[in-house]
Amino acid sequence: MIGDAFSSDATDIHVIPRTNDYLIQFRKTGVLVPFQTIDKDQAERLIAHLKFMASMDIGEKRKPQSGSFSLTVRNTPLSLRISTLPTTHLKESLVIRILPQKYQIPIEKMSLYPSSAKKLLALLMYSHGLILFTGPTGNVS
């Protein structure tokens, strides 16, 4: 499933409980696209396995949780961010954010102005403080 999502350039995988089964959808260019349905038992095993891999409490279904883990798919390292939300009847939905780790952009190329990169590098020399970066998740442009 993760390999299929990665190959189709999906950014997220949604596992959504329904009355009799679970719907798996891929998010592609901001739109949820149905991938497949799986039965309740398969979905619960899948969710428990992913929660275990992400160091989450597999027994907790009443509270939202988040975690992450890394794996390699088709020779590309991926970081996966896992989030769960409780739903009705002790079911939970799960979302996997797929973050490919193939891009390593030098800090000098991240900034529009060379002086900004120099200032950032100078700030990194301090032993304390906080630097915040913002922008769309997964955006490398």
Q: What is the pLDDT of residues 93-111, one digit of tens each?
A: 999 999 988 767 777 777 7
Number of domains in the chain: 1
| Residue 94: Cβ within 10 Å count | 23
Q: Is the pLDDT of residue 140 over 70?
A: no
Task: Return the SS3 of 31.
Answer: strand
Give residue 50's pLDDT.
98
* 133 occurs within a structural domain: no
Tell me if 21 sits within 8 A of 39, measured CB to CB: yes
* 32 occurs within a structural domain: yes
DSSP string, 77-122: EEEEEEEEEE-GGG-EEEEEEEEE------HHHHSSSHHHHHHHHH
- The per-residue pLDDT for range 108-118, each reduced to its tens digit, is 777 778 888 88
* 58 occurs within a structural domain: yes
| Residue 2: Cβ within 10 Å count | 15
| pTM (predicted TM-score) | 0.79
User: What percentage of the chain reaches a pLDDT higher than 90?
Assistant: 72
- The per-residue pLDDT for range 23-45, each reduced to its tens digit, is 999 999 999 999 999 999 999 99
* 126 occurs within a structural domain: no
Cα–Cα dist 141/136, whole Å: 10
* 73 occurs within a structural domain: yes
- Residue 138: pLDDT band (50, 70, 90) is low
- The CATH number of whichever domain residue 46 belongs to comes to 3.30.450.90
Which residue type does 130 have? L
* 117 occurs within a structural domain: no
* 19 occurs within a structural domain: yes
Q: Give the Å distances, CA to CA, from 23 to 39, 93, 115, 126.
A: 9, 10, 49, 48
- What average pLDDT does this structure show over 105-134? 85
- The per-residue pLDDT for range 60-71, each reduced to its tens digit, is 999 999 999 999
Q: Which domain, by its residues, includes 61?
A: 2-100
Q: What is the mean pLDDT of the chain?
A: 91
* 112 occurs within a structural domain: no
